[in-house]
Structure 1
Amino acid sequence: MDFQLKTLTAHEAASTEADALILLWPDAGDGGDAAQADPLTLWARQALAEGDLKAEPGQWLAAHRLPGVRPRRVVLVRCGDGSAPRVRQAVSAAFGALKGGSPVRRLVLQLGALPPLAVRSAVLAVAEASYRYTTTLSEPQPRALAAVTVGVANREGVQSTFDEAVATVRGQELAKEWANRPANHATPSDLAEAAKALQGRGIAVEVLGPKEVAKLGMGAFLAVAQGSDQPLRFIVLHYRGAAKSVAPVVLVGKGITFDTGGISLKPAADMDEMKFDMGGAASVLGTFEALAHLRPALNVVGLIPACENMPGGRAVKPGDVVRSLSGQTIEILNTDAEGRLILCDALTYAQRFQPRAVIDIATLTGACVIALGQVRSGLFANDDELARALLEAGDAAADPCWRMPLDEEYGEALKSSFADVANVGGRAAGAVTAAKFLQRFVKDVPWAHLDIAGTAWKSGKDKGATGRPVPLLVRYLLDEAARAQTQGQPDRSTRPSKRSRRAAH
């Protein structure tokens, strides 16, 4: 889908060649052109004056072949105070009004003088409302909408926010595509090919297979993968937007392309949704797609440990003890707590880049869904400044998270008589003990863990991937690039040496 940003008056929007026009009307001010008496604005004002359109956000009024208006269909929709949430609500409602008629291939979205964050919200809402998954359909009905012209009062004032929104859409839709694919169309090898497709545009990709991973000593990752016929892949992405000496942000995405639970087999009901268990990996791919469009002055590394968790004859068993890359031994009490096993080796690997920060993203625990539902992702962090930055980025991107505790006492549940640590700590505070497990593998590096089990996909009639937390990650990385420009880029020499990190383990 092609997005274009133009400076348009309501009259100019009404004169644009398109199949449909959506005109957002805020409570304050005038959604049209106060100094002009064009047909579109006159129609809207008359409808409002006569009470044909209620004031509540999302209320709409539609017209067909409005005299003096070039687009065939027009939807006037109220957007309340013009804030980002109300604009998203309004655009979604307007798309509902356009359903059922002839396909809309070209759309004009007239926003007028709404603020930049409202413009961003509108672009994301258009993408969300028009998204279609088609890859495995025999007779796919592709997205009808091909071109969107976004009309604003002053293009220059919102251009950078618009560019971020479009890049976020590109990344979010790539994440949705791979998370939505059935597991037989999204194997670890397929994910590696998707990563390779990102090469160029400042991105380099390296893919390691089972032999390389074994040589590294990633025993926890290997243990999860050993029950599947699908070979594991360890995907390493590099986005270089700053000097090579500048310490990168490292994103680590859980890539369980299908999770049966292994020997600790999951119930059959809803197990199909475990194709979404690589939502963290998909979000890393999507974030790198956005980086390729935006090109911020920042270095970013993406790590994706990808494998299946299957109950084969070689599968890891409850009670098995494995040695992780860090050297720590792990007693695997529950094979369905596999995400933390592949992540712990990736987190140890991340430290070789001497990063400024490490963020892992994972559909990790059902406990987080119970705690936070589908609204906010769970945020755990060992660094207050990193936590604050992620919270602010999530709020700004309408992709919110909520900080959870990491008290030392929670780690007591992970004690084992047969290994350095157990991979589960019981039902109580399950999301927290999972995070405490991961924390053992980051030591002094600023680290955050995003548990997206409740936000990465929807169930029921709207079943499908959300592409979260791509918006949060993109906003955080842009903010981080801006901070680096202001405060100076941290050099890798400010991070501990490889020798000291190995000694710490």
Structure 2
Amino acid sequence: MDFELKTLAWAEACRLKCDALVALVTEQASGGADPLSRLVQEARKAGDLETKPGKLLHAYRADGISATRLVLAGGGDGSGKRVQAAIHAAMASLKGRAVKRLVICLHEAAQDDALRAAVTATAESSYVYVATKSKAEGRELQRVTIATPAQQPGHKQTFEAARAAAAGIEYARELGNLPPNLATPTRLGEEAKKLAKAHALTCEVLGPREVERLGMGSFMAVARGSEEPLRFIVLQYKGAAPSQPPVVLVGKGITFDSGGISIKPAGEMDEMKFDMSGAASVLGVFRALGELRPAVNVVGLIPSCENLPDGRAMKPGDVVTTMSGQTVEVLNTDAEGRLILCDALTYAERFKPAAVVDIATLTGACVIALGGVRSGLFASDDQLADALLQAGESALDLCWRMPLDDEYGDGLKTNFADMANVAGRPGGAITAAKFLQRFAGKFPWAHLDIAGTAWKGGAAKGSTGRPVGLLLQYLSMQAAAPVATKTPRRKAAAR
């Protein structure tokens, strides 16, 4: 899908020939003499048009307007969040209407957040999965014009960033939606190599022998039950000076999670193909970085395998030795994500990172705590946590900081190893983060638990591509920050 940005007053937008024209009407909308403005004024006066986000008014071949269909969409106060809701509602109403050419008119005072939301919400709403369908039609929408009455400083840069983010999010969604017999660890490695070739990235894909030589005993233990060979993917984007320490993104890449010997219930087990959403988000970020080329160094680490039960699979009671040398008693084989991430976190030390962020569909407990609105954020460093929270708010890809009190780690004690891989049901998302923290003591670290936000179930079942938007916004902020402010850190205060 092709996006373009134009500076157009409503009077000019009226003359554009397109299949549909969506006009955002905010609380501060001012009047005008053009046909579109007059229609808005009359509809509001008659009480037929509300500015509340989600409220719509449709017209077909309206007088003085060249567009075949016109949608007046309430935009509330014009903020990014309200624009996002308005675009989602408008796009849903146009679904199946053979709209190939779309024009979206933003309000006069549209700021960067509104412009960003217009692009990403349009892309999100028009996405259609067709990869494994025999006769399905793909996305109808081909070209989208985002029109602003007056271009604000920075609009063009924001638009380009939003367009790249939309492409990265869609790429992550497509990978997440693929069935597990196609989206194997080998396939993820191949996708990483394609990205590297297309966008001048550095890529290395390690197999079982290389991973064994590294001493990643925890990662290898999870992979033992599957015939699909594991892959450890290392991607590097070099946009800053070599002396500038990189941000390392670690994505959980369990391409199917049966639970292993601690097998999951059959209901909704098909959704465990989404357990590689952390890996997909890292690949989506690199897809966007290849276009944006920000002045920052980024490393992506993806440990990828399946978690299946067979005669060689790890068992409850097994003790495995991690790459760090620490030992772990496996009390539940369905707590496998932390077992592959911990070795990747140890591997991250070699890059002497400015910060490490791991992204994982880690715990059902996080779904209970936060639902599908915000991802769970855990961090050992206040500055890193603040930056990620701010990035999430800006990108409308929200997260919420959770505690990491030392006492939560007590449940990981065991008589037979340095730690257990689970600590019981209470505070399950927190104790999982406390497990990972034991492997992240040499750098500022954050963990995003995206179990509630990476995909939707039910009739809307499918990958969301989150938190690609949050991560890209964070990396953009790091690229824009003066070098002197990138190094000082402050540890999280005792809680």
TM-score range, shorter chain: over 0.9
**1:79-136 superposed Cα distances (whole Å, 9 cap, x missing partner):** 11111111111111212332343x1000000113222201111111111110111101
Please give the TM-score of this superposition, normalised by the length of structure 2. Answer: 0.96
Name the aligned partner's letter for residue 192 of structure 1: G
**1:136-166 superposed Cα distances (whole Å, 9 cap, x missing partner):** 1111220000100000123353111111211
> Structure 2 residue aligned with 1:74, among 67, 70, 73?
70
Unaligned runs of 5+ in 1: 495-505
Contact 1:8 1:112 in 2 (8 A): no
Q: Which moved more, 1:204-213 or 1:71-80?
A: 71-80
> Structure 1 residue aligned with 2:174, among 174, 177, 180?
177
Mapping for residues 183-222 of structure 1, pairs under 5 Å: 183-200=180-197, 201-222=199-220
Mapping for residues 17-416 of structure 1, pairs under 5 Å: 17-30=17-30, 34=32, 37-101=33-97, 103-113=98-108, 114-155=110-151, 157=153, 158-200=155-197, 201-416=199-414
Partner in structure 1 of residue 430 of structure 2 = 432
Partner in structure 1 of residue 492 of structure 2 = none
Q: Which moved more, 1:122-131 or 1:222-231?
A: 122-131
Q: SS of the counterpart of 2:172?
A: helix
CA distance in 1, matches of 2:360, 2:229: 21
Contact 1:9 1:112 in 2 (8 A): no
Give 1:420 deviation, angstroms. Answer: 1.0
1:465 aligns with 2:463: yes
CA distance in 1, matches of 2:112, 2:326: 48
Contact 2:375 2:453 in 1 (8 A): yes
Q: SS of the counterpart of 1:199?
A: helix
CA distance in 2, matches of 1:339, 1:27: 47
Q: What stretches of structure 1 move > 4 A for 4+ residues in a row? A: 488-491
Unaligned runs of 5+ in 2: 490-495
Name the aligned partner's letter for residue 374 of structure 1: G
Give 1:41 deviation, angstroms. Answer: 2.0
Q: SS of the counterpart of 2:233?
A: strand
CA distance in 1, matches of 2:475, 2:150: 26
Name the aligned partner's letter for residue 156 of structure 2: Q
Q: SS of the counterpart of 2:106?
A: strand
CA distance in 1, matches of 2:414, 2:353: 31
Contact 1:202 1:241 in 2 (8 A): no
**1:7-52 superposed Cα distances (whole Å, 9 cap, x missing partner):** 011121121221110011111132x6x3xx2222222222222222
Contact 1:321 1:419 in 2 (8 A): yes
Give 1:489 deviation, angstroms. Answer: 5.8
Name the aligned partner's letter for residue 168 of structure 2: G
Partner in structure 2 of residue 497 of structure 1 = none
CA distance in 2, matches of 1:156, 1:46: 29
Contact 1:238 1:299 in 2 (8 A): yes
CA distance in 1, matches of 2:95, 2:187: 35
Name the aligned partner's letter for residue 278 of structure 2: G
Contact 2:376 2:448 in 1 (8 A): yes
CA distance in 2, matches of 1:409, 1:40: 61
